Amino acid sequence: MNEADALVFSHPGITAKQRTVAALPFSDSPVGLSGKFRVRVDPSVPSGAYEVRVSGRHGLSNPRIFIVTSAANQLVSAISHSPQAPTELPVGQFVNASCTAEQRDWFRFELSETADVRLRLLAGRVDSRMIGLLKVLDSSGRSLAVARGSDDLDPTINLAKLPAGKYSVMVHDFLYRGGSEYPYQLVVAVGPEDMESAPVVLGFESGLVEIEKVSGRLPAHVMPSAITLGSDEVSLTDAGQPNAIQKVEMPSKNAWWFPADQSGQVFQLGAKKGQKISVEIVSGRAGQPSDAKLFVQRIEPQQNAEPKYHPVAQADDSFKLGSEPLSLLTKDPVVLWTATHDADYRLLVHDMDVGRMLSKRQAFQLNIGKPVPRFDLVAFTAFPNKDAKQCRGFGSKLFRGGTEAIHVIAARRDGWRGPIKVTLKGLPTGVTATEVVMAANQHETQITLEASEDAKAADFTAVVIGSSDDGMMRVTATPVTQVWGRGAGRDFVQSRISAGLSFHVSDRDLAPITIRSGDAKVAEIKKKETLSIPVSIVRREGGSEPCVLRARNLPPGVTIADVTVAKDKNEGALKVSVSDKALSGTYSLWLQVETKLKLKPNAQALERAQAYRKQLQTLHDDPAQAAQLESIKAAIVAADKKVEAAKAEAKEQQLTVYIPSPNLTIQVVDP
């Protein structure tokens, strides 16, 4: 965070100005305070969740969420851990705090009259590691209600007609963890106004994008929420209670409650023989702690007897895509089936998760209609490491002549098949990305951004676009960010939907190496043959060590052995072998280059400190400044300390790095 001089917000109505102090002695320029800002939220900015990133000498940070609200905020320096002396919590005010390890936080609020009360704990919604536990007690210490959150859900408590009096609130992390990674906000609200009724909004610089909010939270993990929230509208706010047998027609898109007694819901519809029908349950993807299962049966009426039910299709968990950085899982069933007769069919929807701790009642959206073959995309910044398990939240610093990458996952829906062309929009001058192709038998790809050697400094947001081969279908990818890596007792990477994929071009850093592969043309390779593709490395200061090149995103049947380019060499060759089992088609791949670089993180800071020290020495040696000599000497002592501190920051470091190469596209053809 050294020399952090700007904050970048997801809404243009939120701005920050760096705080400054008086100029250094014998200098006319005020000094910016690194990491110190005054933030202003314009009155026109809607209440909701927004993202902020830190920008400065060392690039652009990963995003963090904060809440904009019209309610007062209470900044408490110390939270009480004693139930006998709780921290006062005025009704309607947000208190900002962090969990303390192995401790419980205690608050007290007072009602002057009987009222409906709602307690909200915001933890996952503000990028906290906290799994919240919330408890309300009356003045005699009797427990009135308790609620526990999860990795995906912040706890809430609603109490109707609570009598006037004083009440205590206990808050802690369910695993009793604590520290700066476990912040939370707590609010007690009364009256008819529902503070959770407004959607959570993530703002883009070009405007506002509303993300449907269900269960009063922005998903802490993306899971398949990102897929649902890409192009489909999901709303459970008007969920209804169906009849014993609810008759529906196609198309149908309605929200329903799962039965409180855990029995199944039954829906009935008529269909013609040969008719293709898509049925989808959206519940877990919309933030509900549910595990739905779907059965489709044909109804055969019987004279004077119960009808017979013939199995047609069934579905449980519908898909699993991705890997360690982002595993897109869903317990929501999706089934594509064909009517076998002109008949009535029934759909049975069960919630297999009978737990009642996180939510008293779950809802689901039932979508029935004609199949619409399509795809949705999720995109996130690719973490530069050969071990995917090391993925964690990180920022961007795109060197001139350097590269960074975006990972893209596709969810193919309703039987859609075909290659997907992936391109980027929003790139500034000097930054390019070659179009890549996700083949019909692939669900993932990676696209590389490359900065030219003369690229200008810029903070920008890239938009990932996926297109069908004929150009008739264009899909904008849902952006995702990794919030937390493994650790703190959680053996997975925590991710969520983000306002955008943001990057920073540094005009003060030149990449020690630049990789080139092929001649930018599509290389054609026949099955059962091997093709040699040249690779070149441009070496600069700090980039003299050997480079190990590993091919990534290879399709089945295509192999490329690792290549090592020695420290005294700049050229190599990839041996691409294609078996007769490979599928014909166009494929995009990339190389992960592992090497050691020698870098000086901030040589400019040392240059500035030395220049200022030299300026003071000139004044010291000037007889005309004799009257200020003592002040100059004191300034020199302080300047010498700054020079020593800058030397540490400019000290050369050797780092092992994993660099993505620009994309290479090959075409596998039949002999």
Q: Quickly list DSSP for 16-42.
A: EEEEEEPPPTT--S-EEEEEEEEEEE-
Tell me if 348 sits within 8 A of 265, measured CB to CB: yes
Angstrom distance (rounded) from CA 260 to CA 348? 16
> Is the residue at 133 inside a domain?
yes
- For tokens 């039932």, what's the residue? 366
Q: Are residues 252 and 343 in the same domain?
A: yes
Nearest 5°: phi and psi at 268?
Answer: -130, 135
44: number of Cβ within 10 Å: 7
492 or 286, greater pLDDT: 492
Instruction: Output DSSP code: residue 66.
Output: E
Tell me if 124 sits within 8 A of 151, measured CB to CB: yes
**Torsion over CA: 482, 486, 489, 490 (sign):** positive
Q: Which of 483, 511, 539 is the last residue of a domain?
A: 511
Q: Say what the alpha-carbon torsion angle 317, 319, 322, 327 is, to the nearest 10 degrees.
A: -20
Q: How many domains does the chain have?
A: 5
Tell me if 51 sits within 8 A of 28, measured CB to CB: no
> Is the residue at 612 inside a domain?
yes
Angstrom distance (rounded) from CA 427 to CA 452? 12
CATH assignment of the domain containing 160: 2.60.120.380
Tell me if 282 sits within 8 A of 332, measured CB to CB: yes
Say whether pLDDT at 219 is over 60. no
Tell me if 268 sits within 8 A of 346, measured CB to CB: yes
Q: Which of 511, 535, 570 is the last residue of a domain?
A: 511
Angstrom distance (rounded) from CA 219 to CA 234? 14
Q: Are residues 307 and 296 in the same domain?
A: yes
> Is the residue at 504 inside a domain?
yes
Q: Terminus-to-terminus CA distance in the chain, angstroms?
A: 56
> Is the residue at 422 inside a domain?
yes
Angstrom distance (rounded) from CA 451 to CA 404? 9
Return the pLDDT at 328: 73
> Is the residue at 591 inside a domain?
no
Angstrom distance (rounded) from CA 242 to CA 254? 10
Candidates 342, 330, 338, 288; CA nearest to 313 is 338
pLDDT tens for each residue of 113-169? 999 999 999 999 899 999 999 999 999 999 999 999 888 788 999 999 999 999 999
Q: Are residues 307 and 406 in the same domain?
A: no
Return the pLDDT at 510: 95
Return the pLDDT at 360: 61
pLDDT tens for each residue of 623-648? 999 999 999 999 999 999 999 999 98
Q: Are residues 149 and 170 in the same domain?
A: yes
Name the band, by pLDDT with cuts 50, 70 and 90, for residue 204: very low
Nearest 5°: phi and psi at 521?
Answer: -100, 160
Pairing of the two strands 246-247 and 201-204: unpaired
Q: 295 lies in which domain range?
A: 235-319+330-370
Say whether pLDDT at 227 is over 60. no
274: number of Cβ within 10 Å: 10
577 or 326, greater pLDDT: 577
Q: Is the pTM of this model over 0.75?
A: yes
